[in-house]
Chain A
């Protein structure tokens, strides 16, 4: 069972890995500041459940489900050792871990395929569930509406989580969100709740309740996890201080760190050790991925377009 120390470790891994990936590839989407939403949202899924995480560096979710770190790094470097033969966007995960694929750069379509995973589980009379997260920008795609409505009508076992970081590339949320995301749930007749996205335990508790509900066959829930994008949309995108004016930033890692110390669950040296271990693991993964083979005509796969 995942405890608060595990949540902490995963957030540190996400931060360390994400920071490194941003230096390796300026097109990588920084996760910094949003780690608690990824980690808390997917902490309580079973391995046989389906996970459809938001595209903003979801690697920690893949790692929590058993992916190999160095192979994920290889994806960002365009190496053949990545999970998808270098063919897809780098944030696509390993499908064999029941991760809903990212196969295009369009947004909102994975809300559809994730809803379909839940449909499969219902048709199969299984108690598996799907958890699907997406950004607040994506929440304005028609697929958001169509699929949540469909899932509500069919009472599908799915949890929708909005990783609400307040930005859509260069636009602030006040230019595209006239009302809170969670309020939309009422229109579909499903529960909607808002959680503090900087508090991994709050995210986890909110989503876990929704997962239980889905598993009991009571249908979907919409969770709005309020977080903040600390960096640009991609690593090379600079956000000015003026753009951040008036925003109170709380670091999700600091929030949990304080609690671990307070509760006596960890000591300062132990916390330092978590950071050091993450740094070592990421460094080793980068080294291994760097020496892996580049993609070739084998991966181009002219005969692999159809199953």
Chain B
């Protein structure tokens, strides 16, 4: 497919990569709703960073696929303003490392506009970005936890192609600002089945990636495949791990996590970002503080990146969480629970 060819809903197999699924969702919504348009860098004939907007320029042209200067604050700010006055923009911030350049708009404006106008204003904006380690090695820092801290922003981070499409459809249709985070390591990963049409996935709902009775393992984004790999290995040892993919960090599915943990009485949380102040801390604190109490039989374990700025090159693998670390954490909770 050439970079400016129209996006076709792929026929037959419906097996898409994560990135293709996101692009399909955007294309579907742009066809359905003329108020939707895209702002970003390199999203024209080039097809977007990591082919993230491939085909959209060819189908919708420069009036709805707006190539912007390298000005993230103006991109997000102008999208918020356009949303205030009747549009539904999607802003593509090429990489999560660039979000801090738009922080004032993301933190001081986006979450506040509805509430601070007494409910009068609405800002249906999607801010789409890519985080973490990826196939090209650049821009690995994962700052997503910051954004779940602020009331008024929604944060989603799908880990499968079907979830990516379904959550992008929800994000575009939402009347609130939504940060849509694509784990870079999964962008061009293995294809998977994606339903055609409107497979909307509600924001705030977790998915059960694997059932198990022994340990609850909460993950999102790039750690989902690591967790499933760990669970498969542990299953050979007779340990049944229940893997919950949060999919949304704000709002997040407390009910599913608490219900699972009540059954397993053991909780491990794994994410690509750092442990300190990472969103795993919120999950742990929520479960630990729930009334009536979740009767845990082992301390809650968290797995995340080493407490260093994520390094480049071959050093990086030593900083990022691994399937082996997740397995070790699971075993720890099992041992603690039996001693």
Q: Which residues of A contact B (CB under 8 A)?
A: 50, 83-85, 87-88, 92, 94-96, 98, 100-101, 103-104, 106, 108-109, 111-121, 123-124, 142-143, 146-147, 149-150, 153-154, 301, 304-307
Contacts and interface: CB of A to CB of B under 8 A. Distances in A.
B77 A113 contact: yes
B120 A111 contact: no
Contacts of A100: 81, 84
Given A109-B104, A150-B69, 16 more contacts: A84-B117, A87-B118, A95-B120, A100-B81, A103-B109, A113-B78, A113-B80, A113-B81, A113-B113, A117-B84, A123-B37, A143-B73, A147-B77, A150-B74, A154-B66, A305-B151
Contact of A112 (B63, B80, B86, B123): B80
A112 B115 contact: no
Interface in B112-133: 112-123
15 contacts: A87-B115, A88-B118, A101-B113, A104-B104, A112-B105, A113-B109, A120-B81, A123-B63, A142-B73, A147-B77, A149-B69, A149-B71, A150-B71, A304-B115, A305-B151
Contacts of A149: 69, 71, 74
A95 B117 contact: yes
Interface residues of B, number: 43
A101 B117 contact: yes
Interface string B249-283: 00000000000000000000000000000000000
A101 B115 contact: no
B82 interface: yes
B96 interface: no
A112 B87 contact: no
B219 interface: no
Contacts of A147: 71, 73-74, 77-78
A103 B107 CA distance: 11
Contact of B175 (A101, A150, A304, A307): A307
Interface of B: 37, 63, 66, 68-69, 71, 73-87, 104-105, 108-109, 111-123, 151-152, 154, 175-176
B73 A146 contact: yes
A88 B117 contact: yes
Contact of B116 (A92, A119, A123, A150): A92
A164 B81 CA distance: 24
A103 B113 contact: yes
A301 B151 CA distance: 12
Specify which of B68, B75, B117 lies most central, judged by the most chain A CB atoms within 10 Å of its CB.
Answer: B117
B77 A305 contact: no
Nearest to A104: B108
